[in-house]
Structure formats: structure tokens, C-alpha cells
Amino acid sequence: MSGRLTVAQELPWPPAVSDFFPPNIAGPWVTKFGVMVWLAVAILIVFFLVAYRKPTLVPSRTQWVAESVYGLIRDGVARDQMGDTGIKFAPYLTVLFSFIVLTNLFGIVPGLQISPNSHIAFPIVLAAISFVLYIAVGVRKHGFFRYLKMSLILPGVPWPMHFLLVPIEFLQNFINKPVTLAVRLFANMFAGHLILLVFTVGGFVMLSSDNWFVQASSVFAFLMAIIMTFFEALVAILQAYVFVVLTANYLSTSLAEQH
């Protein structure tokens, strides 16, 4: 037995962040993320079309699954947060929820083991769409200046305090909300991906060592990778749900009546 403990052989060590991004497929225009997003959109379109091809009153199985997804979002989220005026936003929220769940679950599907949401660009776009939507809804309902007044000025405050409070309210409403929506989704997916990579690659690194104890304890690394995969599935669905609930909450704040 040699006097050294070799931990890593023939692996890029230490790995840089750029080692974790998937390679381009066809030039810089078609990347693995692009193909995955197209795949998610195609699955959603095909599923919902097939489920509603011949709707019957007593639903068949695919139709029942599609209806329960829509019913979960419409009753549990839209009607709960916004009342009956929220039903017209339920289709957007359902599609948002299904798309985020699918792209998050791509993080644990073998072969495609990364979620597009672990790249900051995709959650930025989703949060930007929700942000523009709730501002547009508020402006269309109340008019531009009354909407600003409603969201920035708090009633029952002596008016010199408003110079203090308006920048805080502006930052909180118009910058904090979309940024935290995007960053929450991105950070959860990125951290989950990194944890899975640490345990899996660490397991392989430990397995290729030349010390039998280190090789034997790589079993624990692989076991933790399996446990974290199940945890990752839970986090995927939970983060999609939180995104949709917060979007509905911001929409309800925009639609609220005057004080």
C-alpha cells in the first residue's frame, strides 16, 4: 500500500463552473437547454390536445388528469387568492405551473439531467412575463397614476413621511417582486443540481481512489445521491407551486379595490 491517498484520477479536478454547462448541439443557436424547452412545450401541447380531443361528461383517464391539473390551479390558487374575478387568469397560471413543473423535473430525468431553470435566463423570462402581466392588469383597471398612487402611497400617514416611504415602497413593489420570483426559482434549481452533482461525481471520484476504505465509503455518496434525487422531485413541484401562488397573490394585489 502506497503512502499517498490518491483521491482523484483522470477527472477534471477541481471542476470549474463552466464544466457543468452542457455543450452546444448545433452551433451556438441550438443548445441542450433550447431542445429541452422545445421538448417541454411539445409535451404540454400534445398532452392537453389529446386529453381534450373528445371530451365526455364522465372523463376518460387522460382527460381526468388534465382536468385535475386545471382544477387544482383554478380552485386552489386562482379562486383562493383572487376570488371569482381570478378565473380568467387560471389558464395562464395552469400553463405556467405545468411548464415549470416539467422543466424542473427534467433535472432528474436520466439523460437530460439538468433543468433549464438552473440557468438564470429562463426564470428571468418567466418572472418578467408575470411582472408585466400584473402591472398591465393594475394599470388597465385603475389607470396609470391611480395605480401608482395605490401601490406607493399608504393611507393614514402624515404627508411629510411620504418622502421617506415612497422610495422604499417603489423598491419593494417594482424591483423586489420580480427579482425574488426569478432568483427563488433559479437558486433552488441551481443548488439542487449542484448537490446532485457533488454526490454523484464525488462518488465516482471516491470509487476511483486506490484506498479500499475510500472506495467502500463511496456507497454513502451514491446513497445520498439517490435520496437527494427524491428530494429534488419534491423541491421541483414545490417551487413551481410557490411561483404560481406568488404570481396569483401579486395579481390579486393589483386587482384590489381602493382603500
Partner 1 sequence: MADDQHQPDSDKPSEGVAGTVVGYLIAGIVGWGVIGWLVERWLGLPKGMGIATGMIIGAGGAIYLIMKRLGA
Binding site for partner 1 (CB under 8 A): 80-83, 154-157, 161, 164-165, 167-172, 175-176, 180, 249, 252-253, 255-257, 259
How far is 90 from 74, CA to CA, in rounded Å? 5
- To partner 1, the closest distance from the beta carbon of 119 in angstroms equals 24
- Paired with 24 in beta bridges are 31
Q: Nearer Cβ to partner 1, position 67 or 80?
A: 80
- To partner 1, the closest distance from the beta carbon of 55 in angstroms equals 33
Q: Nearer Cβ to partner 1, position 67 or 169?
A: 169
- Paired with 30 in beta bridges are 26
12 sits in the region (left: phi over 0; alpha: psi -120 to 50; else beta) called beta
- Paired with 177 in beta bridges are none
Q: Nearer Cβ to partner 1, position 31 or 188?
A: 188
- To partner 1, the closest distance from the beta carbon of 73 in angstroms equals 16
Among residues 242, 232, 194, which one has the least CA distance to residue 104? Answer: 232
SS3 of 125-140: HHHHHHHHHHHHHHHH
- To partner 1, the closest distance from the beta carbon of 22 in angstroms equals 33
Q: Nearer Cβ to partner 1, position 170 or 222?
A: 170
Q: Are 35 and 24 in contact (CB under 8 A)?
A: no
